[in-house]
Amino acid sequence: MAWTRQVLRVNLTEGTCIPEPLNMDWANQYLGQRGLATRYLFEEIDPACDALGADNKMIMATGPLTGTMASTGGRYSVITKSPLTGAIACSNSGGFFGAELKNAGWDMIIFEGKSPAPVYLSIENDQARLVSADDLWGKSCWETDEILHARHQDPQMRIAVVGRSAEQGCLYSSVINDMHRAAGRSGVGTVMASKNLKAVTVRGTMGVGNILDPARFMETVAAGKKVLAENAVTGEGLPALGTQVLMNVINEVGAMPTRNMQEVQFEGAHKISGEAMLEPRESDGKPNLTRNGGCFACTIACGRISTIDREHFSVKEKPQYWGNSGGLEYEAAWALGSDTGIDDLDALTYVNFICNEDGMDPISFGATVAAAMELFEVGAINTSHTDGVELKFGNAQALCWAVEQSATGTGFGADLNLGSKRLCEKYGRPELSMTVKGQEFPAYDPRGIQGMGLTYATSNRGACHLRSYTVSSEILGVPEKTDPLESDGKAGLVKAFQDATAAVDSAGLCVFTTFAWTLDDIAPQIDAACDGDWSPERLVEVGERIWQLERDFNLKAGMTGADDTLPDRLLKDAAKSGPAKGKVCELDNMLPEYYQLRGWTADGQLTAETRSKFGLPS
Amino acid sequence: MQITFKLYATLQHLLPPEARDNAVVIEVPEDVTLHEVIERFNVKRKDAHLVLINGRYFGAADRDAKGLLVDGDVLAVWPPVAGG
């Protein structure tokens, strides 16, 4: 129970939408969402396939608690092979789309093949059909959302959509749902567009009435909500300042990647921080932040809803951007701000709006612009490439120009849409790309937070903070404080975070709950909702099984232990300031122990014993 | 001696009006403890979760020790925070 036990298989080549039963053996081993969809993908595609070919598949998957009253139970993920990394991609999103899909009666949608012409998938409960999207191709996410809502005359309908960047082949395009929530990373939107699939519309009115023990479930859900409400982070800090509360923290501890990770502290950090978003502007007396916002069933509500100063150069002639929309999260603010050396809060907010409007991952976009700025400053590119624009660190006008180019794949935007790795290779300076497995770094410099170096190097989807957020322990002291400058002991910490996170990502819950919840809070909710005995220990086992399967996918895709590394800048160039001054990331001290803890060989391959222990498919 | 005191997030309202960018320069005795500085701004001990001197963390066991601060240091304090 809790699963609807129904999968919708959409063959885009044939134009068919066929229901099939969920594989419950796999659900018992992989739970749902991230884990279960990875099991399906592993079974159904060759991991070595072309990510943008018809042979790749894309799965939109919910977890067993998606659509229920469990706090944050509104998540869904997009699982596919990434065109950016060539590795497994799994991008998780909030908003309301996932819960609506579950309420329509579906655990997941598997998209296969490629449509001969643009289409969108329309779902109304058990009715699913493909509809021509000829008139939607070439429209932004926001335009498409508006047109489809008007066409279906249903304001409650939820929409996931790709923008013009994905149509143009931008390798880090997102799937945008509910206007400004995103399955953001690894180019999952690019895969969707490669299949000529513009959007998925969902209306579900059937409810999630298949809870195993409703009375016990409500008790466990209420207990969980009480923990979140009484916790200072989830009950106060995140609603008030959002993730942007981290801007000043991470800068103070000297782990703020700055100017393409050349430095670890940004002098303008305060101007683009969560605190700055609350300060009234001089021009109109209003702050950047209008209010916080919550996703389906969320009792934290960390989301930012913002406005831009109407007199700001970015929007002065563009009244369509004068209203409220999704504001800066820490990751976007860092990538668009300190990594490019820009401290103009309104400019960053505008660029973030455009990333939502046309579906670009603001982390990868910002980090790619940062790489381009360094290429410009070292002379590898010049104004002949940039249409006369001085693409230098700190140039806010250049950043706004770049996002408009990137959104439509115009001019130098086509180069930016390659991502940092391919861009730096193209212009002969591959060492300037700050990526792992081809994916750009998030907002924590591993010279100042050692565990994050191992996190990045071993993340199954390339550089990513959401696979094991050891920042929580190393900097924020949750659940307990460890020394961020010490690499000893971090292998076990990273593994523990990786396994627990994989389980949370597979349940339908938001990983932000884990600032207050442990698996002891989560397991009773799953156990009350789902068939079978779901203990914290079983969730850890499921989490590790998922990690091993993702790893196996990547190995079969052609990756090796040699891909578990970091750019030389982080391994050889010492931090220039702050507590980490003089330190590099000590990956060599952590990686061998990590392989051992994982049950892998010294070169990162799964052993027969490990395969057998977790019952991995051959 | 003089130090810079910084207070952030849901504690920032406890800073005096002359604070800029969440920071204020204050005069403190040389043997002052971290708790004495923090409590001068009416920050409750349980709310002072992250306590950093020049970016380095000092746990509860150190906060009553004298002599940790020297002239020109930056003492920054946050309540429990997280993000990602």
Instruction: Express each pLDDT in A161-217 by its tens digit.
Output: 999 999 999 999 999 999 999 999 999 999 999 999 999 999 999 998 889 999 999
Residue A582 included in any domain: yes
Same domain? A423 vs A444: no
Residue A182's nearest CA partner among A95, A110, A300 is: A95
* Domain-embedded: residue B50: yes
- Average confidence (pLDDT) over B57-79: 97
CB contact under 8 A, B80 and A241: no
A50 and A18 fall within a common domain: yes
A267 plus A314 within the same structural domain:
yes
ipTM of the complex: 0.98
Is position B23 within any domain? yes
Q: Would you call B22 and A330 a contact, using CB atoms and an 8 Å cutoff?
A: no
Residues in chain B: 84
Enumerate the residues of chain B whose CB falls inside 8 A of the CB of residue A72: none
Residue B50: what residue type?
Answer: L
Q: Looking at this protein, which amino acid is placed at residue A342? A: I
Q: What is the DSSP letter of A446?
A: T
Closest residue to B82, CB basis, from A472, A578, A579: A472
CB A86 within 8 A of CB A557: yes
**Tally of CA atoms within 13 A in the half-sphere of A555 that contains its CB:** 16
- Residue range A82-105, pLDDT digits in tens: 999 999 999 999 999 999 999 999
Q: Tens digit of pLDDT for each residue in A467-480?
A: 999 999 999 999 89
Q: Measured between alpha carbons, how far is A111 from A90 in angstroms, rounded to an integer?
A: 15
For residue A325, give the 3-state DSSP assignment. Answer: strand
Distance of residue A469 Cα from the nearest chain B Cα, in angstroms: 8
Q: Quote the CA–CA distance of A561 and A573 in Å, as a whole number.
A: 23
CB A500 within 8 A of CB A269: no
Q: Is residue A599 part of a domain?
A: yes
* Burial per residue of A105-131, b for 16 or more beta-carbon CB atoms within 10 angstroms, e otherwise: bbbbbbbbbbbeebbbbbbbeeebebb
A426 and A449 belong to one structural domain: no
One domain for residues A308 and A389: yes
Is A282 a residue whose pLDDT tops 90? no
* pLDDT interval class at B67 (50, 70, 90): very high
Looking at residue A89, its pLDDT comes to: 98
Nearest to A327 by CA among A296, A356, A368: A356
Residue ending a domain, choose from A372, A402, A433: A433
Enumerate the residues of chain B whose CB falls inside 8 A of the CB of residue A330: 83-84
- The CATH number linked to A171 is 3.60.9.10
* A472/B22 Cβ within 8 A: no
Average pLDDT, chain A: 97
Question: For chains A and B, what is the number of CB pairs under 8 angstroms?
Answer: 95
Question: Does residue A445 sit in the same domain as residue A517?
Answer: yes
Q: Is residue B41 part of a domain?
A: yes
Q: Which residues contact B30 (CB under 8 A, 6 or more apart)?
A: B1, B67
For residue B14, the domain's CATH number is: 3.10.20.30
| A235 part of a folded domain | no
Q: Nearest to residue A65, comparing CAs of A120, A102, A117?
A: A102
- B contacts of A245 (beta carbons < 8 Å): 8-9, 78, 81-83
- pLDDT score, position A284: 87
Q: Could you tell me if A401 and A539 lie in one domain?
A: no
Cross-chain Cβ contact A477/B50 below 8 Å: yes
Measured N-to-C along each axis, helices A214-230 and A519-529 cross at an angle, to the nearest 10 degrees, of 160
Residues A448, A424, single domain; the answer is no
Is B84 contained in some domain?
no
Express each pLDDT in A233-252 by its tens digit: 999 999 999 999 999 999 99
Check residue A1 and give its pLDDT: 61
B83 found inside a domain? no
Each residue of A316-354: pLDDT tens digit? 999 999 999 999 999 999 999 999 999 999 999 999 999
**For residue A617, pLDDT beyond 70:** yes
Domains held by chain A: number: 3
Residue with tokens 């699963």: A3
Q: Which residue of B has its CA nearest to A274?
A: B9
Do A413 and A388 fall within a single domain?
Answer: yes
Find the mean pLDDT for residues B43-67. 97
- Let me know if residue A222 belongs to a domain: no
pLDDT mean over A344-370: 98
Q: Are residues A367 and A413 in the same domain?
A: yes
Q: What is d(CA A273, CA A243) in angstroms, rounded to the nearest whole number?
A: 10
Q: Count up the domains in chain B and report the number.
A: 1
Question: Residue B21 is nearest to which of A238, A270, A469, comparing CB atoms?
Answer: A270
* pLDDT the model gives residue A618: 82
Residue A308 resides in a domain: yes
Does a structural domain hold residue A225?
no
Domain ends where: A370, A399, A433? A433
Contact indicator for A398, A536 with CB cutoff of 8 Å: no
**Domain identity same for A272 and A175:** no
Residue A214 lies in a domain: no
Distance CA A46, CA A43 (A): 8
What tens digit of pLDDT does each residue of A93-149 get? 999 999 999 999 999 999 999 999 999 999 999 999 999 999 999 999 999 999 999
Q: Is residue B15 part of a domain?
A: yes
The dihedral through the CA atoms of A144, A100, A181, A445 has a sign that is negative
Chain B residue with minimal CA distance to A245? B9
pTM above 0.90, yes or no: yes
CA of B47, closest CA in chain A: separation in Å? 9
* Range of the structural domain that residue A594 is part of: 440-614
Q: Do A249 and B81 touch (CB under 8 A)?
A: yes
Q: How far apart are CA A195 and CA A121, in angstroms?
A: 12
Domain membership flag for residue B56: yes
Q: Is residue B6 part of a domain?
A: yes
Residues of B near A (Cβ–Cβ under 8 Å) read 6, 8-10, 12, 21-22, 47, 49-50, 52, 54-57, 59, 74, 76, 78-84
Q: Among A384, A410, A433, give the residue marking a domain's end.
A: A433
Q: What residue numbers bound the domain in which B43 lies? A: 2-78
Long-range pairs of A500-503 with CB within 8 A, sequence gap ≥ 24: A500/A539, A500/A540, A500/A543, A501/A466, A501/A467, A501/A468, A501/A469, A501/A543, A502/A34, A502/A35, A502/A542, A502/A543, A502/A544, A502/A546, A502/A547, A502/A550, A503/A31, A503/A35, A503/A539, A503/A540, A503/A542, A503/A543, A503/A546
Same domain, A416 and A311: yes
| Residue A593 domain flag | yes
For B4, list phi and psi in degrees, rounded to 5. -100, 130
